[in-house]
């Protein structure tokens, strides 16, 4: 088109509202719209009333600017959704197409039923072309969704009638819109018709058949009514169908946790009486945010994709668990649970479901709706352990021993530093409280009593001595961090351990609550690291905590450790869930490995935040694994597949599990499982790896 033609078009261009149906349609349209809104509002009110069944207090009205920013990133930038490329592109096309249709409808309504006039001239041309383009996006996204569900069929994605309803509505709605536009263009033949490019192309197709104007006019009216009817049906259906997530999704994301993911809710054990309810045994024990979580689930199945329990045939599916809780909440609202005598824990959610969880956090990291699965699982475990005294013999014994001796084996506390006897003058604070230090090395129970982890701890201390680092150890003053017992559900045991350890750390001036002390805790285990860093603060312990891989990496990058020896090995690094997913430490371990000459770093199929758990978290280190296949074998198979000589770890639990896996697969002659400290110490000539 020439500029002159465009100028002429612009002059005559305007929106003809209610063309062919007449303005009197508003006498039916607005009452119908009001009815749809009433049905919508009633549905939302019922959901809201249901959320109020959850009685536990939870203040999520803090950090409002940060919450807005998080919402913007999640909704308008699709930050998390786009971490899965296909599904992300699919959703973003539908989302922005849908938003533009909403905006278009709102502007048209304002233009037609208020004194405002703005749908004319250049703005109208841009409006028309934009709406056509975005409507096409909805079709593209919907086609991708159909293809994904019918052809690609990812194992975690199940499709039911609700999904087909949602997709069909989108496609039908857009096709109706294009058809109405095409007929209007075919009849009126406006000079600017080409701008509505989809309608114009379809209009040319209609003209080929040369239909009569009265016929087209009637067809247009019929389709217009149908389009309006489906739109009203859609509005009314939102609270009763999958479209509910349009409301609950953004709400849930806005109110998502702002505390560290690795910090579980503290139970106030100082003020308990006979009415105190431990953990979650019913809907009333949840918070309103938990209830909103349940209604926000869109059943996308992302949480199942990397769930170690689900992928090794355990009875736990994080998605099904959320849906079961939602069903229970709905039945509670209808009074059915009372009538049928249905209880949540043990009847609807079985013990084996709850004990299958490793608390690896893969579900929470993957969930686009920011649902907190682990918190609910641990809360139901708390009910079993604290409320009912129901816990399997092995974890029960571990809890008892940790309370009594501060370690899961019940070995004497005064033998906690025995492993140091072949180290010359270890800087033990229990023997010499006046030692000056910059770093307090947290050895953990595994490092103190487990032969294999002791080697790791020794290698690490040798490196520190080699680099002239001023460090100290608590020795017999240290007890288990309490991570495992807390995740098993024994909050009382955790709090006892935490209070003991905080007292010791404070005694040696590590608490930053009155200003930075300049001292750091360096944890060998990511589980201790997470507990001390993220959980002790609820009990008055404010510490600077780093993982030993972070300190090693700092020493290497600052030149205090020089790794010069060639090490021609293929190494794959296994991300510990509590280091990576929970605390975002992904690169320090990898940087250590790539700084060694000759090392070839290989990534397993699942790595970084999409890593696959070793199976030992959540207290499962102290439990048998009688159901399904073994989680550690699945992870070990990935390491074998990648063709590595060494699996590097930064966690004593992961090391034990993968070591067991390598032995079970008879690969111990080909693959070694080593801690990062051992690899570094070997390179420095401080230890020999056999
Ligand atoms: S819990 Fe989250 S990830 Fe899992 S199905 Fe629901 S929305 Fe998807
Ligand atoms: S935390 Fe891990 S094991 Fe537990 S439900 Fe989530 S993905 Fe599964």
The answer to whether the CB of 322 falls within 8 A of the CB of 373 is: yes
Ligand 2 atom closest to the Cα of residue 303 is 7
Handedness of CA 234, 240, 243, 245 (dihedral sign): positive
Cα-Cα end-to-end distance for the chain: 78
Q: What CA–CA distance (Å, rounded) separates 63 from 86?
A: 33
Please indicate whether residue 319, judged by its CB atom, sits closer than 6 Å to ligand 1. Answer: yes
Q: Which residue has its alpha carbon closest to ligand 2 atom 2?
A: 360
The answer to whether the CB of 245 falls within 8 A of the CB of 296 is: yes
Ligand 1 atom closest to the Cα of residue 304 is 4
**Whether CATH 1.10.1060.10 fits 283-387:** yes
Q: Cβ contacts of residue 611 below 8 Å, gap of 6+?
A: 306, 362, 574, 575, 577, 580, 581, 604
Please indicate whether residue 372, judged by its CB atom, sits closer than 6 Å to ligand 2. Answer: no
Ligand 1 atom closest to the Cα of residue 298 is 7
Q: What CA–CA distance (Å, rounded) separates 225 from 228?
A: 5
CA distances in angstroms from 327 to 320, 558, 650, listed in the order given = 10, 56, 40
Q: What is the pTM of this model?
A: 0.93
What local confidence, expressed as pLDDT, does residue 1 receive?
47
Which residue shows structure tokens 């508003």? Answer: 26
Query: Which ligand sits closest to the CA of 318?
Result: 2
- DSSP letter for 266, please: P
Which residue shows structure tokens 């993957």? Answer: 366
Q: How far is the CA of 318 from the centre of ligand 2 (A)?
A: 6
153: its two tokens: 């069929």
Q: Which of 303, 304, 305, 307 to probe ligand 2 with, by most ligand atoms within 8 A of CB? A: 307
CA nearest neighbour of 474 among 439, 514, 525: 439
Q: How far is the CA of 514 from the centre of ligand 2 (A)?
A: 37
What local confidence, expressed as pLDDT, does residue 422 receive?
82
Residue spans per domain, the chain: 64-254, 283-387, 406-554, 561-683
| DSSP letter string, 89-147 | HHHHHHHHHHHHHHHHHHHHHHHHHSS----BHHHHHHHHHHHHHHHHHHHHHHHHHHH
344: its two tokens: 């949540």
What own/partner pairs with CB < 8 Å and gap ≥ 24 does 681-686 have? 681/459, 681/460, 681/462, 681/463, 682/459, 682/567, 683/563, 683/564, 683/565, 683/567, 683/596, 684/463, 684/466, 684/561, 684/563, 685/565, 686/459, 686/462, 686/463, 686/466
CA distances in angstroms from 451 to 179, 446, 621, listed in the order given = 74, 8, 16
The answer to whether the CB of 562 falls within 8 A of the CB of 680 is: no
Ligand 2 atom closest to the Cα of residue 358 is 3
- What residues form DSSP beta bridges with 648? 573, 674
**Whether CATH 1.20.1050 fits 406-554:** yes
Q: What CA–CA distance (Å, rounded) separates 406 from 550?
A: 27
Three-state SS at 584: coil
The answer to whether the CB of 387 falls within 8 A of the CB of 356 is: no
CATH architecture of the domain 561-683 equals 3-Layer(aba) Sandwich (3.40)
Q: What CA–CA distance (Å, rounded) separates 327 from 264?
A: 25
Q: Other CB atoms closer than 10 Å to residue 76's CB: what's the count?
A: 12
Three-state SS at 369: coil
Please indicate whether residue 249, judged by its CB atom, sits closer than 6 Å to ligand 1. Answer: no
Please identify every stretch of the chain with a pLDDT value under 70, giving residue numbers as ranges: 1-15
| DSSP letter string, 562-578 | ---S----EEEEPPPTT
Q: Which of 261, 304, 360 to probe ligand 2 with, by most ligand atoms within 8 A of CB? A: 360
The answer to whether the CB of 180 falls within 8 A of the CB of 224 is: yes
Which residue shows structure tokens 């682990």? Answer: 374
45 class by beta-carbon count within 10 Å (0-12 exposed, 13-18 middle, 19+ buried) = exposed
Q: Which residue has its alpha carbon closest to ligand 1 atom 6?
A: 297
Q: Which residue has its alpha carbon closest to ligand 2 atom 7?
A: 307
């Amino acid at each position: 088109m020439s500029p002159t033609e465009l100028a002429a078009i612009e002059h005559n261009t305007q929106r003809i509202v209610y063309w062919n149906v007449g303005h009197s349609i508003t006498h039916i349209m607005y009452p119908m719209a009001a009815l749809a809104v009433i049905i919508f509002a009633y549905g939302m009110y019922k959901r809201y009333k249901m959320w109020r069944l959850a009685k536990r207090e939870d203040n999520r009205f803090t950090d409002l600017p940060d919450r807005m920013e998080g919402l913007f990133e999640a909704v308008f930038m699709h930050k998390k959704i786009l971490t899965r490329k296909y599904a992300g592109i699919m959703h973003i096309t539908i989302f922005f197409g849908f938003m533009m249709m909403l905006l278009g409808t709102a502007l048209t309504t304002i233009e037609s039923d208020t004194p405002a006039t703005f749908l004319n001239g250049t703005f109208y041309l841009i409006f028309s072309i934009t709406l056509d383009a975005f409507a096409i996006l909805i079709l593209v996204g919907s086609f991708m969704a159909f293809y994904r569900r019918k052809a690609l069929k990812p194992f975690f994605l199940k499709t039911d009638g609700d999904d087909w309803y949602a997709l069909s509505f989108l496609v039908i709605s857009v096709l109706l819109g294009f058809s109405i536009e095409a007929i209007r263009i075919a009849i009126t033949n406006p000079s600017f018709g080409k701008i509505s490019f989809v309608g114009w192309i379809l209009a040319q197709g209609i003209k080929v058949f040369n239909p009569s104007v009265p016929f087209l006019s009637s067809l247009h009216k019929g389709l217009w009514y149908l389009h309006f009817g489906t739109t009203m049906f859609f509005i009314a259906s939102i609270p009763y169908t999958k479209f509910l997530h349009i409301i609950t999704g953004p709400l849930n994301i806005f109110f998502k946790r702002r505390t560290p993911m690795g910090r579980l809710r503290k139970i106030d054990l100082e003020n308990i009486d006979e009415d105190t309810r431990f953990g979650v045994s019913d809907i009333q024990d949840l918070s309103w945010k938990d209830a909103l979580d349940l209604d926000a689930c869109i059943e996308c199945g992302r949480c199942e994709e990397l769930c170690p329990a689900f992928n090794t045939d355990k009875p736990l599916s994080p998605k099904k668990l959320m849906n079961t809780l939602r069903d229970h909440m709905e039945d509670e609202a209808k009074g059915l649970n009372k009538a049928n005598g249905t209880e949540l824990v043990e009847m609807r959610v079985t013990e084996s479901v709850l004990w299958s969880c490793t608390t690896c956090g893969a579900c929470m990291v993957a969930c686009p709706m920011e649902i907190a699965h682990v918190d609910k699982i641990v809360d139901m475990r708390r009910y079993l352990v604290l409320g009912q005294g129901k816990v399997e013999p092995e974890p029960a014994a571990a809890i008892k021993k940790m309370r009594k001796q501060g370690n899961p084996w019940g070995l004497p506390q005064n033998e906690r530093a025995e492993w140091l006897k072949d180290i010359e003058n270890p800087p033990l604070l229990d023997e010499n409280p006046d030692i000056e230090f910059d770093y307090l090395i947290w050895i953990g129970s595994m490092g103190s009593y487990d032969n294999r982890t002791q080697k790791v701890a020794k290698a690490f201390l040798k490196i520190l001595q080699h680099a002239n680092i001023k460090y100290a150890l608590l020795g017999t003053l240290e007890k288990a961090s309490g991570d495992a017992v807390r995740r098993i559900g024994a909050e009382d045991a955790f709090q006892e351990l935490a209070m003991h350890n905080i007292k010791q750390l404070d005694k040696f001036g590590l608490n930053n609550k009155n200003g930075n002390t300049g001292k750091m805790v360096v944890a060998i285990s990511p589980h201790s690291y997470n507990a001390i860093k993220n959980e002790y603060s609820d009990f008055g312990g404010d510490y600077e905590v780093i993982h030993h891989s972070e300190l090693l990496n700092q020493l290497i990058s600052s030149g205090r450790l020089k790794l010069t020896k060639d090490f021609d090995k293929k190494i794959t690094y296994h991300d510990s869930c509590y280091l990576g997913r929970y605390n975002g430490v992904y690169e320090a371990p990898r940087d250590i490995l790539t700084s060694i000459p000759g090392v070839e770093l290989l990534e397993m199929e699942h790595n970084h935040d999409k890593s696959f758990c070793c199976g030992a978290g959540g207290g499962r280190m102290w439990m048998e694994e009688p159901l399904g296949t073994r989680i550690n074998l699945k992870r070990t198979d990935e390491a074998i597949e990648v063709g590595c000589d060494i699996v590097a770890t930064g966690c004593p639990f992961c090391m034990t599990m993968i070591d067991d896996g390598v032995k079970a697969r008879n690969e111990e002659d080909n693959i070694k499982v080593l801690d990062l400290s051992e690899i570094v110490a070997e390179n420095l000539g401080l230890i020999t790896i056999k």
